[in-house]
Amino acid sequence: MAKEIKAPKKADKPVKADKVTKIAKPAKVEKTKADRPIEADRPASTKTAYKLDATAQNIIDAFEQISAIPRNSGDEERIRHFLIDWARKNKFLYITDKVGNLIIKIAASKGMEKHPTIVLQGHLDMVCEKTPDSPHDFSKDPIRFVFDGEWLKADRTTLGADNGIAVAMAMCLATDSKVKHGPLELLFTIEEETGLTGARGLETGIIEAKYLINIDSERDDVFTVGCAGGRDTHIELDLGYEEVPYDYRGMHIKVSGLTGGHSGENIIDERANAIRVLNRILHSIRDLCDLRLTWFKGGTAHNAIPRDAEATFFIPIDQLPIVKEHVEKAEVYLKSEFERTDPELDVYLAEMAVTPDRRAMMSYVSMKVLDLLYALPHGVAARSTDMPHLVETSSNLAKVWVDYGKLCIHSSQRSSVMTRLEALTHRIEAVGRLAGARVQSGSGYPSWRPDFNSKLLAACKKIYKSLFDTDPRVEAIHAGLECGLIGNLHPGMQMLSLGPTIKNPHSPDERLYLPSLAKVYQLLGKILAEL
């Protein structure tokens, strides 16, 4: 038996391959300016074929200024200062609470001082996802806009309309002399995308309103009145390493090109999870011959379905032809299985250059890793019995990586029924413990229970009908909104979420439907005037 040795100290990326079974054609890369933008700078953009009216253009102008400022979760300081400067310029009172939320208070229009105060709420941060060929640096580069007919996208990155468009709309409503309103409170929270930190830490007493409109929904014909709660689980498994036999060859495998998307909104679409697809291939190779893992990485965010995953491993040299043929066949059947949801699915396999470091996980450890990843759930766990079109409970196998001799796994669970959220979390913890891993789950955040009888909802439905001669859809969603936490802090507050149409948030395919901007703006203006 080979002697067990210490794991590599650092989870380095695999060595460049020297023999390639399959190589995808490289995408053309457009170089972008990497200088840190000044707050007032605007990102480069293409010209649009869709004619924006004055209202939509004002919103896009504000959104461009916002998009010029990096605002990854945890890095909201620059966008907060930009908004503070805007508030000072317009002589609005502003407050920053202890966790970094920004509240801007705006006096009522003349003659509307006795109208109820309304909160317009959105979050400052965005999910930072990009395609593998994108040179974008989310810590300093502005988002580059791409206008495509009636849609606004970004150049190979997330657009950040989730939720920068809410900030832009609130800015425009507050400064539009044609919009009449009672007292307004603009609430901009931090770190919504990584755990609703801002809403969780919001200080009581700062918000005075009894009505709140969250501008973080993604259909212009839908009023959202409820959402799922969520909880994350972290799993760590210690790994054992040894030298592989001299007649083993190093391999690099990568699954890419998947659609990805929002782990709440898009989980119902049954899109492929790159971590699960890659693990499935590796597990099937292990059925053919001995396989020794050295490295595994997939996923980027807890609330995004993984689009890419890769691994390195050793197999016996004499099994190379069989393994290569097997992977080619696996790609064929996987493409067939996910033809509708992930048409760009790609599997890359290559031999690695020979290196002095021939350490890999022991054979039984490699099998334990593959079994653990296979056993962890992902996808829809239950649908709502009240609203069959709505996912009630789900989990997202979000991130996997190897670092300092440990396999690290991050799973994110959602449910509109908190007891079922707890049960699914306990199941995931149990799977981890059965593998001998350490598990730890966060406290999570509550669901937002729908109130179909609220006065706010009734008034907004009536206003929508008067404007568009049709009724809005009223729904709960299988995603996390800050309303649940804010409502817990302010008992009796009536809340509703709406917004312009956004497709594929949390992925580089995110896009904003431009015609929906004027529609939602008109609706919000009418609500502020008549509520």
CATH code of 243's domain: 3.30.70.360
Residue 25 scores a pLDDT above 90: no
Average pLDDT over residues 252-261: 96
Do 237 and 207 have their domain in common?
A: no
Q: Is 429 a catalytic residue?
A: no
Could you identify the residue written with the tokens 């150049």? 155
Cβ proximity of 393 and 414 under 8 Å: yes
**Cis previous bond, 163, omega within 30:** yes
Catalytic residue among 76, 125, 155, 310: 125
Q: How confident is the model at residue 45 (pLDDT cuts 50, 70, 90)?
A: low
Do 350 and 421 have their domain in common?
A: yes
The SS3 assignment for 395 reads strand
Cβ burial of 280 (10 Å; 0-12, 13-18, 19+) is middle
Cβ proximity of 477 and 224 under 8 Å: yes
**Cis previous bond, 90, omega within 30:** no
Tally of domains in the chain: 2
Crossing angle of the two packed helices 54-67 and 161-175, in degrees rounded to 10: 120
Do 420 and 507 have their domain in common?
A: no
Cα distance from N-terminal residue to C-terminal residue, the chain: 77
Tell me, yes or no, whether 243 lies in a domain: yes
Residues forming a β-bridge with 403: 406
Do 268 and 155 have their domain in common?
A: no
Average pLDDT over residues 100-118: 96
CATH code of 483's domain: 3.40.630.10
Of 388, 418, 441, the one marking the end of a domain is: 441
Average pLDDT over residues 422-434: 98
Could you identify the residue written with the tokens 């079109």? 389
Average pLDDT over residues 119-136: 96
Q: How confident is the model at residue 531 (pLDDT cuts 50, 70, 90)?
A: confident
Could you identify the residue written with the tokens 């080979």? 2
Average pLDDT over residues 3-14: 43
Cβ burial of 172 (10 Å; 0-12, 13-18, 19+) is buried
For residue 40, give both structure tokens: 């007032």
Average pLDDT over residues 57-66: 98
Do 220 and 259 have their domain in common?
A: no
Tell me, yes or no, whether 433 lies in a domain: yes
Tell me, yes or no, whether 46 lies in a domain: no
Residue 213 has phi, psi (to 5 degrees) of -115, 110
For residue 8, give both structure tokens: 């590599």
Tell me, yes or no, whether 464 lies in a domain: yes
Q: How confident is the model at residue 47 (pLDDT cuts 50, 70, 90)?
A: low
Give one word for 469, left, alpha or beta, with left for phi > 0 and alpha for psi -120 to 50. left
Do 235 and 340 have their domain in common?
A: yes
Give the separation between CA 423 and CA 247, rounded to whole angstroms: 47
- 488/64: higher pLDDT: 64
Q: How many CB atoms lie within 10 A of CB 500?
A: 25
Residue range(s) defining the domain that contains residue 356: 4-24+231-441
Do 224 and 95 have their domain in common?
A: yes
Quick: pLDDT tens for 371-383.
999 999 999 999 9
Do 114 and 220 have their domain in common?
A: yes
Q: How many CB atoms lie within 10 A of CB 429?
A: 17
Average pLDDT over residues 177-186: 97
Of 441, 474, 505, the one marking the end of a domain is: 441
Do 113 and 187 have their domain in common?
A: yes
Run of H or E residues at 512: strand 511-513
Do 267 and 381 have their domain in common?
A: yes
Tell me, yes or no, whether 320 lies in a domain: yes
Quick: pLDDT tens for 149-171.
999 999 999 999 999 999 999 99
> What pLDDT, on a 0 to 100 scale, did the predictor assign at position 308?
97
Average pLDDT over residues 240-269: 95
Tell me, yes or no, whether 42 lies in a domain: no
Average pLDDT over residues 181-190: 97
Q: How far is CA 389 from CA 112, 372, 393, 469, 485, in A?
A: 41, 31, 12, 25, 25
Quick: pLDDT tens for 311-361.
999 999 999 999 999 999 999 999 999 999 999 999 999 999 877 789 999
Do 298 and 356 have their domain in common?
A: yes
Residue 44 scores a pLDDT above 60: no
Do 284 and 380 have their domain in common?
A: yes
Tell me, yes or no, whether 38 lies in a domain: no
Mean pLDDT, all residues of the chain = 90
Q: How many CB atoms lie within 10 A of CB 171?
A: 24
Tell me, yes or no, whether 250 lies in a domain: yes
Average pLDDT over residues 276-285: 98
> What pLDDT, on a 0 to 100 scale, did the predictor assign at position 260?
94
Q: What percent of the chain has pLDDT over 90?
A: 82
Identify the CA nearest to 300 among candidates 344, 256, 335.
Answer: 256
Quick: pLDDT tens for 440-474.
999 888 899 888 899 999 999 999 999 999 999 99
Of 390, 416, 441, the one marking the end of a domain is: 441
Q: Is 113 a catalytic residue?
A: no
Q: How confident is the model at residue 36 (pLDDT cuts 50, 70, 90)?
A: very low
Segment among 73-77, 193-197, 524-528 with least mean pLDDT: 193-197
> What pLDDT, on a 0 to 100 scale, did the predictor assign at position 355?
76
* Alpha-carbon Rg for the chain in angstroms: 25
Q: How confident is the model at residue 389 (pLDDT cuts 50, 70, 90)?
A: confident
Catalytic residue among 97, 155, 192, 232: 192
Q: What percent of the chain has pLDDT over 70?
A: 91
